[in-house]
């Protein structure tokens, strides 16, 4: 009886922290965002639809955002289910920087965009049947 109690105490003392660490590590894994997304942006000039194409290497992302003004490169990161990326567009008035943040939920993202000219909200839905490898 005493041996069973000691064994149970040992398992609880060492096993629970190991399980907790494993689940905490899994929660820190970056969400899988690679692929093509249809993005809808709500800004000062109304609703716009764009195509967001992302390549992912661990927590680092790069890609393009393409809309009516053509493609623009982006770079950013994914930590857990939080995504951040920056798009720089060249305009007649110089470089225009957009900072996107959002939360990934499977094949959907919802977030905010900030620039020196305005703030807005955006959503994206993955197209093409899932993430890239």
Q: Which residues pair with 123 in a beta bridge?
A: 40, 110
At residue 61's C-alpha, the angle toward residues 58 and 55, to 5°, is 90
Is pLDDT above 80 for 100?
yes
Contact by Cβ (8 Å): 102, 114? no
pLDDT digits (tens, 9 = 90+) for 37-89: 999 998 777 899 999 999 999 999 999 999 988 999 999 999 999 999 999 98
Model pLDDT, residue 129: 55
Model pLDDT, residue 26: 53
| Distance of alpha carbon 77 from alpha carbon 58, whole angstroms | 9
Q: What is the mean pLDDT of residues 23-48?
A: 83
pLDDT band of 35, cuts 50, 70, 90: very high
Rounded to two decimals, the pTM is: 0.75
């Amino acid at each position: 009886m005493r041996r069973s109690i000691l064994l149970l105490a040992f398992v609880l003392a060492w096993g629970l922290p190991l399980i907790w660490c494993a689940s905490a590590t899994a929660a820190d894994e970056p969400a899988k965002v690679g692929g093509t997304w249809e993005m809808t942006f709500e800004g000062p000039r109304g609703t716009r639809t764009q195509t967001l194409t992302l390549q992912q290497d661990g927590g680092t992302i790069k890609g393009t955002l393409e809309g009516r003004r053509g493609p623009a490169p982006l770079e950013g990161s994914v930590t857990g289910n939080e995504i951040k990326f920056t798009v720089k567009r060249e305009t007649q008035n110089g470089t225009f920087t957009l900072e996107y943040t959002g939360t990934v939920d499977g094949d959907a993202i919802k977030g905010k965009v900030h620039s020196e000219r305005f703030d807005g909200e955006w959503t994206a839905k993955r197209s093409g049947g899932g993430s890239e490898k």
